[in-house]
Chains A and B, each alone.
Chain A
């Protein structure tokens, strides 16, 4: 009897998607397989399904976001969920209500899924301890952005057929990037070799311990790479003491067609957006449909998020 009771207890616990670090390889692959089905649905004339009919999804965005927020919004709606988006930038939290209070308030409304974006690393973990529903991390601080990494993986698989054995370079502001961290974990799990390239001031300490090779030189870092992922360099980083100037950054780390030649001849470019054209990437290169996967990333983002919502929502 005791055993039965335990299984029930476990079943009652919602699953959360807090980071790639918490996923098993199989779980990651299952999400990607599920997402492939949704790519087809999203390209068909009737995009609506009723998998999450009757379920409530709250998007809780503490940081402004266009892509991720609209992507989650659309993903929930296409699955038939009731989606509510809260932009907390101008709500009670600004008036001193804590994250926990907001969580308890929302929890009382019986949502099935909370999608959270927060400027503090670990905020989704904290939230998940306090609510009865599924928590999906839509980006926390510098820590993780799991759905971004999953959509990047799906995009690569779509084009290259696989991830195992590929060489992937992640370039730019690694220090402040949750996208970089989630991608490092996921690409490693799926069998890729990962290089990170950044000026020393934007490279996190002991990054090699995450299973990557680190470079401060684009030529060496891109050597033989199949995928070049560029990261956004936030403007505020330019004003601190991290870098001398935009011009110098572009000169040494901005991706141009010349620098792309250091990579494999069939190399493809990715960017999580929004792009700073002329800072981390040459504007023509960014729009070159032969090498840039940026649009595809956005498209597949919806499919990946649909897969995550479906698989993590409590039945």
Chain B
């Protein structure tokens, strides 16, 4: 690979508090050689490829902490190849894959499979997670030590929460010793049982069983109480309500160390968008009130929420074309993550740098992976986007194998122009 220089870029890299006009040189090994306003074309040799970014924005490749690949078992929904295409088109270069496949990723041989299969078929960086408990039954913890040694970055039961307080206490106690990351889906099943949307006016009108915010809050309260006793690396996958945020605020103020994620769905939609039973907007945790959405945005601003995830959940039409209560949960989102996140910049509710931080360096830090940064020496995973370019999201044009987007026909601003992986151009619009 030739050395290349990206010139005329507005570089935003929150890992080094950088937001400046400048250039970036990628060396022949695909690593960042130099970055910033002081890098000039003069610094390069004659063989260097020059790419003019025309004042568009250059950021580290996005790190998505929560995406579902259909492999193994659900190849008809998504596979490594289609997920990679969708990710790169969305500026995402690193993905934490969810373990709720068929079979589940809950043992060493499955992790081997994922890593090998990913190496052959995927064209993005994959960071596998494994289940927190065997069979996601919430009873017995998986082999945290052995699985971590194989390359698992975190442990989660994805759409399930460990219900037993005893099991959770043991998990956290054990995890605190070996230093693995626990990623909890906060939902009390007894409270959320058969619920499918937020409990409130919309559930009353649609005649659907609601899920109270208490179902989420109570698990967060419980886990944080345990965390106080067993300080481990603890991350809440996605929160959805104002009330959860209050619990988080109180605990963070008390000095407890943990991290929090939010799905782009809960940041860009609210329960009213469900309208007349739109099953594509059935997601978990559910969309809640506009007031909740605003609180979540505020939570990012104040640093209570650390990361934004796509919660990319491909589902085929069969699974969605059912009465609402029976329909599958989840929406695809990896390709639309950045433009939707940029809405919060365009409507002036979040600073651009904060948005980029939650998509790059913050998840990388939580995962303890060397991504989300363009510091000298880092692998040059990069995303170039036009901040203002308007476009309309159309499911048919998205690259995921499944087309269950929750934001069909949404008008957005901000378009990914190029995505680089290890210094190589991997996507160009």
Interface residues of A (CB under 8 A from B): 21, 98-100, 118, 120-123, 125-126, 140-144, 178, 181, 204-207, 209-210
Contact = CB atoms under 8 A, between A and B. Distances in A.
A209 B208 contact: no
19 contacts: A98-B321, A98-B322, A99-B322, A121-B277, A123-B323, A126-B277, A126-B322, A141-B207, A143-B207, A144-B207, A178-B207, A181-B207, A204-B203, A205-B199, A206-B200, A206-B204, A207-B204, A209-B204, A210-B204
SS class, residues of chain A in contact with chain B: mixed
Contacts of A205: 199-201, 203-204, 210
Consensus secondary structure, chain B interface: loop
A205 B326 CA distance: 22
B250 interface: no
B217 to A, nearest CB: 16
Nearest to A208: B201
Contacts of A142: 207-209
A126 to B, nearest CB: 6
B321 A100 contact: yes
Contact of A122 (B199, B210, B324): B324
Interface in B299-332: 318, 321-326
A143 B208 CA distance: 7
Contacts of B207: 121-122, 140-144, 178, 181
A246 B323 CA distance: 33
A120 B325 contact: yes
B276 interface: yes
Nearest to B208: A121
B375 to A, nearest CB: 49
A122 B325 CA distance: 9
B194 to A, nearest CB: 11
Interface residues of B, number: 20
A121 B204 contact: no
B201 A121 contact: no
Given A122-B276, A126-B321, A210-B201, 9 more contacts: A98-B318, A120-B326, A121-B208, A121-B323, A141-B323, A142-B209, A143-B208, A204-B203, A205-B200
B206 interface: yes
Contacts of B205: 21, 143, 181, 210
A209 B201 contact: yes
Contacts of A207: 204
Contacts of B323: 99, 118, 120-123, 126, 141
Contacts of A181: 204-205, 207
Nearest to B325: A120
Contact of B324 (A21, A120, A206): A120
Contacts of A21: 205
Given A118-B323, A122-B277, A126-B321, A141 B208 contact: yes
B426 to A, nearest CB: 39
Contacts of B209: 142
Contacts of A123: 323
Contacts of A100: 321-322
A118 B326 CA distance: 12
A92 to B, nearest CB: 16
A121 B324 contact: yes
A99 B203 CA distance: 22
A125 B276 contact: yes
Nearest to B317: A100
Contacts of A144: 207
Nearest to B321: A100
A125 B325 CA distance: 13
A141 B204 CA distance: 12
A209 B201 CA distance: 7
A126 B321 CA distance: 8
Nearest to B204: A204
